[in-house]
């Protein structure tokens, strides 16, 4: 049972967007999927409350933020949405149960500096080091720009892969307002967004088989 942790100690980078859409993809593949929210604001679980019952089901996981346990039996795929500022024992517990870690990161130099120590810690962590279990996802960035290249060079200097780049679009905002993901609407509606997920999804599939 893969547990995918979406984490970055900096706020406002799009963690919940990644978490909800990844959970939506798992559910669309027919997996029994659970979405856990470690943030006190419970944004991901609030999103679940908007989700129509006719859509592929994503179950909610009421995670004890002070003592994260393994997910309930019967669940096949889990996505954990971590809060901004996650550190200390909460981060340690989250990494203990996680099989893979996705770090959403914007391409601005300020975001890179704010996340540098966190990524370095992940890269050095014995259970994650040299195992391909950590990847970075560029957020609100055009892959053809100098900013994207700067982000790629920084991430690769830490020995981590860039799993793709998601463009800056209102599609995610509009879908989230209705409890939807990219996988719940007609492909033509999100035709520019779906290809941007392919590298990340291939990495997740390869790492969770």
pLDDT in tens, 30-51: 999 999 888 777 788 899 999 9
Q: Which domain holds residue 81?
A: 3-208
pLDDT value at position 97?
82
How far is C-alpha 189 from the chain's CA centre?
22
Helix axes 198-208, 15-28, angle to 10 degrees: 60
**CATH assignment at residue 65:** 3.40.50.300
pLDDT value at position 170?
96
**Percent above pLDDT 90 for the chain:** 47
Q: What is the mean pLDDT of residues 127-144?
A: 79
Token digits of residue 62: 């009421």
* Minimum mean pLDDT range among 38-42, 51-55, 97-101: 38-42
**Percent above pLDDT 70 for the chain:** 89
pLDDT value at position 51?
96
* pLDDT, greater one: 146 or 198: 198
Determine the Cα–Cα distance for residues 179 and 184; give it in Å rounded to an integer.
9
State the Cα torsion 190-138-94-21 to the nearest 10°. Answer: 0
Q: Report the run of H or E that residue 162 belongs to, with start and end.
A: strand 162-166
Total structural domains within the chain: 1
Indicate the pTM of the whole model: 0.90
pLDDT value at position 45?
85
Helix axes 146-157, 109-124, angle to 10 degrees: 20
């Amino acid at each position: 049972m893969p547990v995918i942790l979406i984490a970055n100690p900096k706020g406002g980078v799009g963690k919940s967007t990644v978490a909800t859409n990844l959970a939506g993809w798992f559910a669309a593949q027919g997996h029994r999927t659970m979405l856990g929210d470690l943030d006190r604001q419970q944004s991901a679980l609030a999103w679940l409350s908007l989700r129509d019952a006719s859509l592929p089901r994503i179950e909610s996981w009421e995670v004890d933020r002070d003592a994260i346990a393994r997910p309930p039996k019967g669940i096949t795929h889990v996505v954990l949405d971590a809060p901004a500022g996650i550190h200390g024992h909460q981060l340690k517990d989250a990494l203990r149960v996680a099989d893979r870690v996705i770090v959403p990161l914007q391409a601005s130099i300020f975001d890179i500096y704010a996340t540098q120590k966190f990524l370095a810690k992940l890269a050095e962590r014995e259970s994650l080091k040299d195992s391909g279990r950590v990847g970075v996802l560029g957020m609100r960035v055009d892959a053809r720009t100098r900013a994207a290249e700067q982000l790629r060079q920084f991430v690769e200097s830490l020995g981590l892969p860039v799993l793709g780049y998601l463009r800056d679009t209102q599609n995610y905002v509009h879908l989230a307002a209705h409890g939807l993901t990219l996988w719940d609407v007609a492909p033509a509606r999100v035709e520019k967004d779906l290809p941007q997920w392919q590298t990340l999804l291939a990495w997740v599939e390869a790492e969770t088989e």
